[in-house]
Structure 1
Amino acid sequence: MIKNLKFAILFIFLSLLTSCSVGMFSNSNFTYFDHLKKVEYEKSSLTEVHKKISNEESDSIKIFVEGETLDFEFEKIGLIETLGAQHSFEEDLLIEIKKLAVERNCDAIINFKKNYTDRESGVMFSDAPRTKYTSKTFSGIAVKITKKI
């Protein structure tokens, strides 16, 4: 009985240790639409190696804000989003979201929106107070242009 109790306590303790998570900055998300199946991929600047994309490549991406008339037919590739940090510049976020579109071989971003998200930063397991701030986010639907109208 005591042996089983020790085993149960050890199991619970190890489960708690392995379930702890460490947060890290993740700057952009990509959602892929696959026949009504939604699959999300998260890109972390700390874990993934990316193809170097030039500014000329990202400048080729056309941006259409929400509600703007489109003069082309398109294929939806997915939802892309860039989340800013505490002191991010809009220009950097715009370049980042365009690079996400280039990585997915898209021609344009439609329904482009700028939003604000409340975030906080700090050191885990510390008594130091957390810093709360509002960051900018850009999002839109990455598309491949199939036909000009």
Structure 2
Amino acid sequence: MKRNNLKFHNVPEQQNETRSMLINTIKHLLIEKLSIYCDSILIDDVFRLPSRAGNRPILVRFALFHDRDRILTAFRGKREEVDPVFRIGEDLPPRIARARAELFLLFQQCIAEKKSVHFKFDKLIVENTTYAYDELQKKPVRVDE
């Protein structure tokens, strides 16, 4: 189930990586980058995703949604302080990932303008106004809910 998954991007690969090496790498990153001490965090599975170039993302499946949410919240809170190349993101279905990719430019503009902005599934919420990407118009459109 994707709900408990997170993707760790731009983590350098080691030669002949094993599952236990990846778990140790993730735990080290949580301590070093996010100050999360992870003795109580349970990891169900961890592996590298196939990728065309560069460091392949690491997919981590947590046993508890609470742990996944705590890590994602900590990353979002420290995004400015953390190494700008290192990223943690949700493991989203392709339809939602495409919609967010198309809305990302608007997201960046809102961040630059210091507006309150966040994604909710395939929608972008900007100061209580909801936007969705319209495939026909090829642009973000306001959604009246």
With structure 2 as the length reference, what TM-score do the two structures score?
A: 0.25
Q: Report which structure shows greater RCO (CA 8 Å, sep ≥6).
A: 1
Structure with a larger share of its residues in strand: 1
Whichever of the two has the greater Rg, that structure is 1
Structure having the larger proportion of residues in helix = 2
